[in-house]
Chains A and B, each alone.
Chain A
Amino acid sequence: MAYSRKVIEHYENPKNVGSMDKDDPDVGTGLVGAPECGDVMKLQLRINDDGLIEDARFKTFGCGSAIASSSLATEWVKGKTVDEALSIRNTEIVKELALPPVKIHCSVLAEDAIKAAIEDYRRKRARAKAGESGKAPDPVETSNSARGGE
């Protein structure tokens, strides 16, 4: 398969690779996909009290298009508000990277990762609030969940 220039650029020089402390209350972690499907994406967002995404980091197991999609996603969400980030659609990623139809699911994964990371952040916040008001944290917290990376 021939790759677009932009996919190759992101693959060769991926932006914002790395990890943040997933226990940091300001960090939301999204872990989507599955090794059996050949694609797993981890996206982490540092979100400030104003709901602004200050920083983003990713790691991806997947094809070049999946790596490029997640690299692009980190670039796009940085500096955006949570609501703006949530409005990013995979179709925009497809367009920007000129992905062929068989690679659309790689972009879907990036959209899902953004949503999962924000969801995780919001859950953490809600729990922190609940904690402040005297309630115990959720007792059924699972340590290894891909859904929110809690």
Chain B
Amino acid sequence: MTPETRTEAESAGPRARRRRIYMDNHATTPCDPRVVEAMLPFFTEKFGNAASRNHEFGWEAEEAVTDARARIAQAIHAADPREIVFTSGATESDNLALKGVAEMFREKGNHIITVPTEHKAVVDTARYLESRGFEVTWLSPGSDGLVDLDELRAAVTDRTILISVMFANNEIGVIQPIREIAEIAAEKGVLFHSDAAQAVGKVPVDVQEMGIHLLSFSAHKIYGPKGIGALYIRRRQPRVRVAIQMHGGGHERGNRSGTLAVPLIVGFAKAVDLAVDDLTNGEIDRIRAMRDRLLHGITSRLPECHVNGSLEHRLPNNLNISFAYVEGESLLMGINDIAVSSGSACTSASLEPSYVLKAMGVGDDLAHTSIRFGLGRFNTEEEVDYVIERVVQTVNRLRELSPLWEMVQEGIDLSKMDWTGD
């Protein structure tokens, strides 16, 4: 914040500084000031093009990128910095992984295995490939959101070229059995891609030890800038190659052309450093403790709260609860000083409730009442207590307003009703 803007905010008086709590850290995160600080010189003084080979400006930029690439590679335990390909974010990484592998291995086979609970960047890319003649098997996750390993094993054929299963889900925070999936992939000689946009910096990610061949991740989920991410592409055992999706000047060893976004890459590396530190310096434990406090604070005071997805196999910062008989958007409206999100159809343009919850077999009635809390580095325990208070109050108020709550209190079985909706 510059001194000018600070004065402006203060002169607007206390009303302008009404309390706002951000608890939607799966959607995005604020840039850490340390990240911004690391980036700043690369906008102005060190603005060179990392591909300029014949002057100091270019060398400076290239050096910064080389350093950033090495640190990012190390953070996910990649064997070689050349395995990191910078992209515009996890969406692009997912596209490059799926389309790149599909095109490259077309001769070998046309079958891909994934899960309907993936992020749209994978779901829609897989659907696109289906429309181009690839066959996609959509595994059915259990009611806890986890992939069934036997189903996965049985789905692999000699035409299978890729398994794509996300590391951790962005709505319900469920962490998939990555090692076991990788083992099946290795056994069958199939490539394994994982979207780890939500996992990096929340849980340990080790591509070598875990046997991951391609890994997508993104800076803005870990207090870095928006518009930068990476795809890890393994170079040995096996050597993975992807068909080019972005043609041009041959940057990133030909894997992704385009002038490197040096300031963003520098910020990404700083964000990754800090996020990986969080895993061991007590920060992740603090976040997990806040999440547990939120969970117990809410469920001990409100009946009929359903946690969506496995609590055991779950990101430390995620909580997803259905507040039965209270529609999600109306709840968001009641707690509008708190930023969270809902799986209700009323909040979506499509008027369809969360496809992730649907795929896990959560009924539409409960999906409409779901709220996702995403805790982060800048949340405090005091904020958590405030959120508990506001959520409990608002759910109680809206239940008093809910005809469904009333009917259930009267002992009516809602599932036996003859509803008029279509």
Contact = CB atoms under 8 A, between A and B. Distances in A.
B403 A38 contact: no
A142 B333 CA distance: 36
Most chain A Cβ neighbours within 10 Å, of B325, B368, B405, B406: B368
A11 B394 CA distance: 12
B418 A144 contact: yes
A36 B401 contact: no
B404 interface: yes
A95 to B, nearest CB: 21
Contacts of A35: 364-365, 368, 404, 414, 419
A62 interface: yes
A64 B365 CA distance: 17
A11 B327 CA distance: 13
B330 interface: yes
A52 interface: no
B403 A61 contact: yes
B402 A61 contact: yes
Interface in A121-150: 142, 144-147
Given A3-B333, A35-B414, A37-B364, A146 B406 contact: no
Contact of B329 (A40, A59, A63, A116): A63
A90 interface: no
Given A11-B330, A62-B330, A64-B333, A38 B419 contact: no
A145 B401 contact: no
A1 B336 CA distance: 11
B412 A144 contact: yes
B363 interface: yes
Contacts of A59: 401-403, 406
Given A38-B345, A59-B401, A61-B402, A145 B363 contact: no
A53 to B, nearest CB: 19
Given A36-B364, A144-B417, A14 B404 contact: no
Contacts of B326: 61
Given A31-B403, A59-B403, A61-B402, A39 B327 contact: yes
Interface stretch (B18-26, B70-78, B142-150, B346-354): B346-354
Interface string B389-413: 0000000000011111110000011
A42 interface: yes
B403 A60 contact: yes
Contacts of A99: none
A88 interface: no
A45 interface: no
B416 interface: yes
A64 to B, nearest CB: 4
Nearest to B352: A38
Provide the main secondary structure of the chain A interface. mixed
B420 interface: yes
A4 interface: no
B93 interface: no
B346 to A, nearest CB: 4
A32 interface: yes
Given A37-B421, A38-B346, A17 B364 contact: no
A61 B325 contact: yes
A67 B406 CA distance: 16
Contacts of A105: 351
Contacts of A145: 417-418
A41 interface: yes
Contact of A19 (B406, B412, B417, B419): B406
A147 B364 CA distance: 20
Contact of A38 (B353, B413, B418): B353
Contacts of B344: 38, 63
Interface in A62-84: 62-64, 66-67
Given A35-B368, A35-B419, A62 B333 contact: no
B417 A146 contact: yes
A124 to B, nearest CB: 18
Nearest to B324: A35
B327 A61 contact: yes
A31 B368 CA distance: 19
Nearest to B399: A61
A67 B330 contact: yes
A14 B327 CA distance: 16
B329 to A, nearest CB: 4
Nearest to B333: A64
Interface string B313-333: 000000000000111111001
Given A61-B327, A61-B401, 16 more contacts: A17-B400, A17-B401, A31-B403, A33-B420, A36-B363, A36-B364, A38-B368, A60-B403, A61-B404, A62-B346, A64-B333, A102-B351, A144-B412, A144-B417, A146-B419, A146-B420
Q: Please provide the 8 A-B residue pairs with the shortest distance between their CB atoms, ordered closest to farther.
A: A34-B421, A34-B419, A35-B365, A42-B403, A38-B368, A63-B346, A37-B421, A59-B403
22 contacts: A11-B333, A17-B400, A31-B403, A33-B419, A33-B420, A35-B368, A35-B419, A36-B365, A38-B345, A38-B353, A39-B327, A42-B406, A59-B402, A59-B406, A61-B327, A61-B401, A62-B327, A63-B344, A64-B329, A145-B417, A146-B417, A147-B420
Interface of B: 325-330, 333-334, 344-347, 349, 351, 353, 363-365, 368, 400-406, 412-414, 416-422
